[in-house]
Amino acid sequence: MSEKNIFELSVQGRTGVRYPDIDVPLTEYPQHLKRENLALPELSELDVVRHFSHLAKLNYSIDSGFYPLGSCTMKYNPKMNEQAARQPGFASTHPLQPIETTQGNLVLMYLLQEALKEISGFHSVSLQPAAGAQGEFVGVRIIRRYLQSIGEGHRDKILIPDSAHGTNPASASMNGLKAVQVPSDERGNIDLVALQNMIDNNVAGLMVTNPNTLGLFEENICEVTKIIHAAGGLVYGDGANMNALMGIAKPADLGIDVMHFNLHKTFSTPHGGGGPGSGPVGVIEKLAPFLPSPIVAIIEPGNDEYAPLYGFIEPEQSIGRVKAFHGQFGVLVRAFAYIDLLGSDGLRLAAEHAVLNANYLLAKLKDYYHVPYPRLCKHEFVVEGAWEEAPDIHALDISKRLMDYNFHPPTNYFPLIVHEALMIEPTETESKDTLDEFIEAMISIANEAHTRPELLHAAPATAPLRRLDELKAAKELTVCCTPIFNQDD
Amino acid sequence: MKFPSELKYTETDEWVLVEGNIAIIGLTDFAQDQLSDLVYFESLVEVGDVIEVETQLGTVESVKSAGDVLAPVSGEVIEINTDLEDEPEIVNADPYVDGWMFKIKMANSSELDDLMSADEYMEQCEE
């Protein structure tokens, strides 16, 4: 291994800081609380700075290159949003401050709720959920509470298409519902005949992602939501792919009853770096009383003299709090800045460009990679990373080889219904030049797969540790750095 | 890829070896190849459990996905291959012998008639 971790760089006796002599009386700790051999690395300040500067250089991010990670919407995060979120008025407030001193924050949350309502067509929005999966959990919980409130609490079955994100069945299951898989038809839509056959008195609802994870618009979405409503169920929308719809179609108009937004991807702040997510939930009118609390509202109307007072309210039959305080506030600021700067026309344009970019890539790659559902895609698409003539090449090899071309790999092996899936999402923020470079790399890799497969199997040749052992990473879950400098062990 | 002719197969990629009134069950070579390197095996039933056809017997996870092991026949679970809990990779190396997963004392051997032959299963895999 050529990359040393900070413990392996440690040299006994080396220090970064020299403390002054103690000029106060010593306080003795009891002997049994003392440890003589604390496992801390010993390095100079320069050693530490160089180590972490080096690691930072190895990092790959959207700021350093193209990141077509399907389903994750790795769009550029405008620096203006960062500036907004770091303003002391936002960054230094405490959630327990009296509301009279945090009116600016509350107005922002209120306006964001209003903007999300406008974008989605929903009656009410709660900004509480901390991420997409929690938004899903909240949405299904609301469906369940609503059904209980009208005496339909026995409904325990939730229908989920086979192309859905894996979090959908998990969210249903955590709410005590049974997830039942609905197959896709040959166009990649929900199979309407199969759906009809699954309908009975126990259906609580359906969870649908539109566009679905194949990057395809559910062509029969209105028919699907009608079938579920006629059966007495509700429709949950997974807002993960809202980037293709914002400003164009409102989920509520398509028959969706409750949906989460992924603020941390659709509205900038992409989450690939592991930063916090934010998954607000929007609902139609009859579900509004069940939203998680608190919600921001005008609690005292203004007049000629005074501005209105914004504060928190609790919906009457709220499922309760799902997060401490008021959601991921920093992400809310970024999302509001994004929406406010783009405006409704700008949001629509962003969605249109995301779809255009994906279709451009699809059109250029379809002669080189098998496309299982060859029709107009939305913001992303799925190809097969395998060829009959190159039996030893897998999607993983293509992904790893892309790193040698200095691109982040696409999502692979998802959705599960596509063999050797490569899921590509360029987003609207990339120029045609970048897309062309990516196309060139993908075509070049397709050729290598047939003529020089060893290049793909050895990839990534340029990464410092080459190909990582995924099997070992999945099996050996205990990672512990042995303090090798420790002479006592 | 191997499709031993003495075995019966399900649409969901389990194989069945019949020994008297005992059904030995595992995942096929095709299934382990699709899943790639297995990292996890968990039995969801216990010895003595009485199960129906399509009861979920266990779950497997690989570096790229996860899958269920469903009961091809009804009956009583009489043995579970617990070696797979520590070494699920046995299923990749030897899906039909050392990689067996469950032994079931069959309640109704006529259920075997609903399963596929090696040729029929091979056809399904090619699709």
Whether residue A479 is predicted with pLDDT greater than 90 in this model: the reply is no
For residue A124, the Cα-to-chain-centroid distance in whole angstroms is 22
The confidence score (pLDDT) of residue A273 equals 53
Mean of pLDDT over chain A: 93
**Given this chain, do its domains A79-341 and A344-474 carry the same CATH topology?**
no
Return the residue of B nearest to A417 by Cα.
Answer: B65
Cβ of residue B56 closer than 8 Å to a chain A Cβ: no
Mean pLDDT over A22-44 rounds to 87
Cβ of residue B108 closer than 8 Å to a chain A Cβ: no
Residue whose entry in the numeric block shows the structure tokens 């191997």: B2
Distance CA A415, CA A370 (A): 15
Whether residue A489 is predicted with pLDDT greater than 60 in this model: the reply is no
Tokens describing residue A147: 């059904």
Q: What is the pTM (predicted TM-score) of this model?
A: 0.89
Half-sphere exposure at residue A454, Cβ-oriented, CA atoms within 13 angstroms: 0
Which of chain A's residues have a Cβ under 8 Å away from the Cβ of B65? 413, 416
Query: Is domain A79-341 in CATH 2.170.190.11, yes or no?
Result: no
Cβ of residue B65 closer than 8 Å to a chain A Cβ: yes
The confidence score (pLDDT) of residue A488 equals 46
Domain boundaries, chain A: 79-341, 344-474
Question: What distances in angstroms separate CA A252 from CA A121, A207, A340, one per listed residue?
Answer: 5, 14, 22
Q: Which residue among B36, B37, B65 places its CB closest to the CB of A416?
A: B65
Range of the domain at B21: 8-107
Q: Looking at A35-49, A167-181, B43-57, B96-110, which range is the least confident one?
A: A35-49
Q: Looking at A20-34, A191-205, B2-16, which range is the least confident one?
A: A20-34
The confidence score (pLDDT) of residue A487 equals 44
Residues A249-263: tens digit of each pLDDT? 999 999 999 999 999
Mean pLDDT over A41-63 rounds to 93
Give chain B's end-to-end CA distance (angstroms, integer).
Answer: 15
Q: Which residue among A394, A412, A474 places its CB closest to the CB of B39?
A: A474
Distance CA A205, CA A115 (A): 27
The confidence score (pLDDT) of residue A94 equals 95
- Residue B3 placed within a domain: no
The residue that leads in pLDDT, A345 or B126, is A345
Residue whose entry in the numeric block shows the structure tokens 């399900």: B10
- CB contact residues (below 8 A), chain B span 21-50, against chain A: 36-37, 39-40
Distance CA A466, CA A86 (A): 37
Residues A365-408: tens digit of each pLDDT? 999 999 999 999 999 999 999 999 999 999 999 999 999 999 99
Contact in structure between B30 and B118 (CB atoms under 8 Å): no
Taking an 8 Å cut-off on Cβ atoms, the answer to whether A471 and B64 are in contact is: no
Suggest the residue from A470, A476, A477 to mutate for an interface test with chain B (most B CBs closer than 10 A).
A470
Taking an 8 Å cut-off on Cβ atoms, the answer to whether A413 and B40 are in contact is: no
B46: domain CATH number is 2.40.50.100
Q: What are phi and psi of A78, to 5 degrees?
A: -55, 140
Distance CA A173, CA A414 (A): 21
Residue A223 neighbours by CB distance under 10 Å:
14
Q: Given pLDDT bands bounded at 50, 70 and 90, which one contains residue A485?
A: very low
Distance CA A69, CA A366 (A): 18
Mean pLDDT over A20-37 rounds to 87
Q: Given pLDDT bands bounded at 50, 70 and 90, which one contains residue A27?
A: confident
Mean pLDDT over A178-191 rounds to 95
- Residue B56 placed within a domain: yes
Our CA-based measurement puts residue A81 at a distance from the nearest CA of chain B, in whole angstroms, of 35
Mean pLDDT over A25-52 rounds to 89
Taking an 8 Å cut-off on Cβ atoms, the answer to whether B37 and A416 are in contact is: no
Q: Which residue among B37, B39, B65 places its CB closest to the CB of A413?
A: B65
Distance CA A138, CA A290 (A): 10
Which of chain B's residues have a Cβ under 8 Å away from the Cβ of A396? 64
The residue that leads in pLDDT, A22 or A228, is A228
Mean pLDDT over A271-280 rounds to 76
Share of chain A above pLDDT 70, in %: 97
Contact in structure between A469 and A408 (CB atoms under 8 Å): no
Tokens describing residue B51: 């199960």
Whether residue A215 is predicted with pLDDT greater than 50 in this model: the reply is yes
- Low-confidence residues of chain B: pLDDT under 70: none
CA nearest to A171, candidates A202, A139, A125, A129? A139
Cβ of residue A470 closer than 8 Å to a chain B Cβ: yes
Mean pLDDT over A170-194 rounds to 95
Cβ of residue A21 closer than 8 Å to a chain B Cβ: no
> In total, how many domains does chain B have?
1
Task: Please name the residues in contact with A112: beta carbons below 8 A apart, sequence gap of 6 or more.
Answer: A127, A280, A332, A335, A336, A339
The confidence score (pLDDT) of residue A483 equals 52
The confidence score (pLDDT) of residue A269 equals 81
CATH annotation of A344-474: 3.90.1150.10
Whether residue A218 is predicted with pLDDT greater than 50 in this model: the reply is yes
Residue whose entry in the numeric block shows the structure tokens 């079938």: A227
